[in-house]
A and B are shown apart, each in its own frame.
Chain A
Amino acid sequence: TQLLEQSPQFLSIQEGENLTVYCNSSSVFSSLQWYRQEPGEGPVLLVTVVTGGEVKKLKRLTFQFGDARKDSSLHITAAQPGDTGLYLCAGSMGGGTYKYIFGTGTRLKVLA
């Protein structure tokens, strides 16, 4: 059972376009992180959100944690070819479960 569903699964856009990736769950997460993975490498952390409703910005990337801490979104403004990669949300359910699960992934391709 995949507890973190991401949408869309695939996204191919032109350079300069905006996009939003969603990460949804029916479970509450104590914190949520976004990672980006490039081919042949392990995922690398982009951001951590902890508080419901929290918004964080990283240059052209804006991350939001849902008020109920069950969902999150990643918005990219004016996408560039360097943004191409696999975007993964990941969450810790807390409460002593010690499981750290990843979403289904969104593969983004930005065309020049």
Chain B
Amino acid sequence: DSGVTQTPKHLITATGQRVTLRCSPRSGDLSVYWYQQSLDQGLQFLIHYYNGEERAKGNILERFSAQQFPDLHSELNLSSLELGDSALYFCASRTGVDTGELFFGEGSRLTVL
């Protein structure tokens, strides 16, 4: 158990819909990262928050947005879903802003039909 909790574990929805993925980081971790993984490939970096502030953006589509709340949990919002958005979405946390081990949740598997 990494201490990072992601919900939901599985989500099936239709094209055009909107979903929200939630992440609770390890206790004490201020950094939250979101990644997308398709078909057992490498992880694509989406976005990084540190203590409530956005610190870096990667290959995140304009249809996607995220935020980190005062209690440090984070949400990733995916809208106008397309078939190609089907993937595993991972959240990871770590204590520091740029150093240290990343601890991953078990992921949220999104299927868009």
Contacts and interface: CB of A to CB of B under 8 A. Distances in A.
Given A92-B98, A94-B98, A42 B56 contact: no
A62 interface: no
Contact of A105 (B42, B101, B106, B107): B42
Interface residues of A, number: 30
B48 A40 contact: no
Given A86-B40, A99-B45, A99-B48, A33 B105 contact: no
Pick from A4, A96, A98, A103 the residue with the most CB of B within 10 Å: A98
B98 to A, nearest CB: 6
Interface in B78-109: 90, 92, 97-99, 101-102, 104-107
A86 B55 CA distance: 28
Given A100-B33, A104-B42, A33 B58 contact: no
Contacts of B27: none
A88 interface: yes
A112 to B, nearest CB: 22
B89 to A, nearest CB: 11
A98 B56 contact: yes
A24 interface: no
Interface of A: 2, 4, 6, 30-31, 33, 35, 40-45, 48, 86, 88, 90, 92, 94, 96-105, 107
6 contacts: A42-B105, A42-B107, A100-B98, A102-B44, A105-B41, A107-B40
Pick from B55, B58, B92, B98 the residue with the most CB of A within 10 Å: B98
A90 B102 contact: yes
Contact of A43 (B40, B43, B56): B43
B43 A98 contact: no
B14 to A, nearest CB: 25
Contacts of A41: 104, 106-107
Interface string B8-41: 0000000000000000000000000101000011
Contact of B42 (A40, A44, A88, A96): A88
